Amino acid sequence: MRRIRGSGTRGVRNLPGVAELGLFPLPLVLVPTERIPLHIFEPRYRELVQECIDTDGEFGLALATGDGAVHEIGTRARVAGVLAQMDDGRMNIVVEGGARFRLLELTRGRSFQTGVVEPVEDEDEPPAGEDVERALAVFSELAQLAETDVDLPDRDSPDLDWELLARVDFGTDPKQELLATTSPAQRMRRLIALLETSLEAVKLEQTLRERAGQNGKVSPRNGDGH
């Protein structure tokens, strides 16, 4: 997974489909259709967000690596709502993930980080019908077992994989992996594997909790200790 560091000088701004975008590097991944809350406190990012609010524009949310670099694939984000705005300029907002972008180079000139980006296009490899059904079935069982009040996405949604991914906390690395995947078929298969792993983890956790609740100890599956 490629990471971008420093400011480039490749002069790609004039290529078809590319644009310069204000960037917000964060240690998290936003996927298309996902909504997350953000607390904006740094002056440079308050400027970026306020500009997006005023113009109904977007900024780029890219996964920061902690060493000054960002991942190549990110997500355009728009401000879906302002929850609170403090007198000192800090604000609590909700952002929604839109289209993905590929970062071609980092640029300078604003108080916040900017970069030249191009759209990320999916390959013409739709997921198999049985994979769609399997993903929905596992997600439904996972939500029921975890006793989570979350709605089931529409099976016919063109963003079904993203909508499922946005509803389960798989962690940063798996989300970034899927964000960078351009084969919808491959992305759905990987999503099923993550859902199945999460389901097994929840089942195991509940089994251990039930056994521990019987006598304060975890008992073997059968009575002889084997």
Element (H, E) at 100: strand 91-107
Element (H, E) at 215: helix 184-215
- pTM, two decimals, is 0.84
Contacts of 24 (CB under 8 A, 6+ apart): 45, 48, 49, 59, 60, 61, 62, 77, 112, 113
| 153, 163 contact by CB (below 8 A) | yes
To the nearest 10°, the Cα dihedral for 99, 102, 106, 111? 10
DSSP characters for 177-212?
HHHH---HHHHHHHHHHHHHHHHHHHHHHHHHHHHH
End-to-end CA distance of the chain: 44
105 or 11: whose pLDDT is higher? 105
Q: What share of the chain in percent tops pLDDT 90?
A: 75
Angle, CA 65 vertex, CA 59 and CA 67 arms, to 5°: 115
> What's the rounded Cα separation, in Å, for the pair 117 and 105?
7
151-193: pLDDT as tens digits? 899 999 999 999 999 999 999 999 999 999 999 999 999 999 9
24-41: pLDDT as tens digits? 999 999 999 999 999 999
- Which of 22-26, 151-155, 209-213, 222-226 bottoms out in mean pLDDT, i.e. has the lowest? 222-226
Which fold, 3-119? Answer: 2.30.130
Domain positions in the chain are 3-119, 129-215
CB burial class (10 A; 0-12, 13-18, 19+) of residue 60? Answer: buried
Instruction: Give the HSE-up count for residue 93: Cα atoms under 13 Å, Cβ half-sphere.
Output: 19
Distances from the Cα of 161 to the Cα of 111, 121, 151, 158, 178, angstroms = 36, 15, 14, 8, 10
15 φ/ψ angles, rounded to the nearest 5 degrees:
-75, 150
133-161: pLDDT as tens digits? 999 999 999 999 988 888 899 999 999 99
Q: Taking the mean position of all CA atoms in its chain, how far away is CA 33?
A: 9
Across all residues in the chain, what is the average pLDDT?
A: 89
pLDDT at 148: 80
| 95, 36 contact by CB (below 8 A) | yes
pLDDT at 219: 46
pLDDT at 172: 95
